[in-house]
Amino acid sequence: MKFSQMSFGRKLLLLLAAVFVVQALVLAGIYAVYVNNKALVHYNLKRAASSFGVPDYLSESIDRKSNLETIKETSRILEHYPNDVATRVSRAKAYKDLQRWKEALGDYDKLAEQEPSNSKWFEERGNVNEYLCRYDAAIHDYSRAIELAGAETRLLITRAAAYRRAGKREKALEELKSLKTDEKLDYSALSELCDLCCDLGEYERAHSALTRMIALDDSYYSNSGRRTRAGLYLKQGRLAEAAEDYEVLCAAADKDVNCDDLFDLANVYDALGNDKNCQSARERAVRTLEGRLKEQGQALDKGTESDSYYSFFDAETLLTFLEKNKRDSEYETYLPLVMKLSKKNISDDGQDVDRLVGESGSISDLVEKLPEAEAKELATFFLGKIKNADTNGYDKEIRTIRAYAEGNLAPLRDGKVGLANRYCYYEDEKDSGKEITPNEKQCHILHDRADQALDQEDLSKAMKLATDANSLDPEQYCAVDTLLRVSLALKDKVRARKCLEKLEEHGYLPDETSAYEHYQLSLLEGDQKAAQKNLSIAGALGNEKALAELKSRRAKGKAGSTHKKPGP
């Protein structure tokens, strides 16, 4: 029967059947492409989602495959299509996420060769070179990116930061002062600009960058800028201004407030002698953390989703505070809840093992704060979930967790030197990609032993080891830091002053530890005014010894005023 002679109903059925067949063929074709090009499809989906302004957490959820599988898929594709740019970009990013810098560098080399006029590849290669501590190569790449893209302020900031890390301070300053101040910058560029300004001692410029960050439309970035500005105020001794910034941050409702901000505000109040507000801020922080854990525990028991996100860091903060303040009944209440929620979180993240490995740092921190039995239990549970995972880049964290799981903490110090030292950035070559010289390694070993001798109050041995370490490699700040602490313990103010000047020769502002060291040295030198200022800064930054000393001084002051003789 001819088509023209068919009834309308039959024609419609045939048309629908044809449409169905075409759709089936198209879907089959799409599936075939997907099966053979998974990584490429994932990459383009993420790129499309990003271009439509989809939030990061949603675009990330599109690609739930691990970075290792992405590398496997893209490598297979590149064997047949070695010039496929999108696929190579996808693999390079996966290598970066896994901190496999040398392999990422190889991909960016190829991309720069394929598209020599694309500034993006030179910028990305510069970033990888920085991770590999190849600063001159990074500067060369950033310079090429600037030639191609023009003198964008964002790129100039990145190059200036590389100059700074390469030790070319004057060049970095020159670049910084040449920047246009009116060009619009995003959060990432403003954050890097702020860090650069602080490194170079240009604090007013840093404040300017932070003020611009606070003015950003995004509330998350704005709050981050305010938080950073508050920290800068603290280090400069501008406690009242820091308190104002923290008060703005802490005006959020309990469900939204950052408890770290509350604890920081409490420290500032404590340093200022405002006991009532200090207590109120601390109690609110503890109450909020406890409330979130309770709510998360109830949601887990009911099999529902919690409105708040479980944080290993928050759990660690709460347990540490309760233990330190001897709130034993609360500690006993929340410890099993932390264990249950931690296991649930680890199990959930275990669906994406790479994501779970990425949590190893915060899990390691929590494990270190748990009682021995719980630490062993949680560490063992975590390791069971990452048995076959690639842990490259997280060797130290995994080594710590494994030591707790085995109940053998002695090996932790092997190859993990300078644990008590804030300036120690020692890493194995496999972790950092940087070649460690014999002198550098021996220097780390010596100052680590000096730290141990100092802990054991064997000051003469500590001084010999610290001096030997410093002589072996005078540019290692970690060794200078150890020598400083030993010198202060021996009340050697001349040597201590030299060490402090070495540590701060580039204008670094003090952290909570160095501010207290400034206080100790000011006392040795008899400068009471400087001692009081540095003590207040150390206390506001959370140094417990400083806070205790400030309380003691206030108590003595009150006692002295009470016993004053009445005037005539």
565 pLDDT above the threshold of 90 = no
At 53-62, the pLDDT tens digits run 434 433 333 3
15 within some domain:
yes
Residue 250 tokens read as 């802490």
Q: How far apart are CA 276 and CA 282, in angstroms?
A: 10
Do residues 537 and 235 lie in contact, with contact meaning Cβ atoms separated by under 8 Å?
yes
Enclosing domain of residue 14: 3-36
Average pLDDT over residues 105-125: 95
Average pLDDT over residues 290-309: 91
Which pLDDT score, from 0 to 100, does residue 2 have? Answer: 61
Residue 46 tokens read as 């993420």
At 475-509, the pLDDT tens digits run 888 889 999 999 999 999 999 999 998 888 766 78
| Better-scored residue on pLDDT, 27 or 552 | 552
Q: What is the 3-state secondary structure (H, E, C) of 492-538?
A: CHHHHHHHHHHHCCCCCCCCHHHHHHHHHHHHHHCCHHHHHHHHHHH
At 521-561, the pLDDT tens digits run 999 999 999 999 999 999 999 999 999 999 999 888 777 66
Q: How far apart are CA 28 and CA 54, in angstroms?
A: 28
Residue-by-residue DSSP string for 231-273: HHHHHTT-HHHHHHHHHHHTTS-TTT--HHHHHHHHHHHHHHT
242 within some domain:
no
**What's the mean pLDDT when you consider all of the chain?**
85
Which pLDDT score, from 0 to 100, does residue 418 have? Answer: 46
8 within some domain:
yes
Q: How far apart are the first and last CA of the chain?
A: 128
128 within some domain:
no
Residue 1: band (very low, low, confident or very high) from pLDDT cuts 50, 70, 90: low
Q: How far apart are CA 208 and CA 509, in angstroms?
A: 17
Q: How far apart are CA 141 and CA 125, in angstroms?
A: 7
Average pLDDT over residues 173-190: 89
Q: How far apart are CA 283 and CA 107, in angstroms?
A: 51
Which pLDDT score, from 0 to 100, does residue 417 have? Answer: 45
Which pLDDT score, from 0 to 100, does residue 448 have? Answer: 87
539 within some domain:
no
Which pLDDT score, from 0 to 100, does residue 182 have? Answer: 78
pTM for the full predicted model: 0.78
42 pLDDT above the threshold of 80 = no
30 within some domain:
yes
Give the dihedral of Cα atoms 353, 356, 358, 363; nearest 10 deg.
Answer: -150
Q: How far apart are CA 502 and CA 477, in angstroms?
A: 8
280 pLDDT above the threshold of 60 = yes
Which pLDDT score, from 0 to 100, does residue 191 have? Answer: 94
473 pLDDT above the threshold of 90 = no
433 pLDDT above the threshold of 50 = no
- Rounded to the nearest 5 percent, the helix, strand and coil shares of the chain are 75, 0, 25
Which pLDDT score, from 0 to 100, does residue 566 have? Answer: 54
13 within some domain:
yes
Which pLDDT score, from 0 to 100, does residue 384 have? Answer: 93
Which pLDDT score, from 0 to 100, does residue 412 have? Answer: 60
238 pLDDT above the threshold of 90 = yes
Least confident of 105-109, 163-167, 287-291, 352-356: 352-356
92 within some domain:
no
Q: What percent of the chain has pLDDT over 90?
A: 59
46 pLDDT above the threshold of 70 = no
Number of domains in the chain: 1
- Which range of 19-23, 200-204, 414-418, 537-541 scores highest in mean pLDDT? It is 537-541
- With b meaning 16 or more CB within 10 Å and e meaning fewer, what string describes 127-137? bbbbbbbbbeb
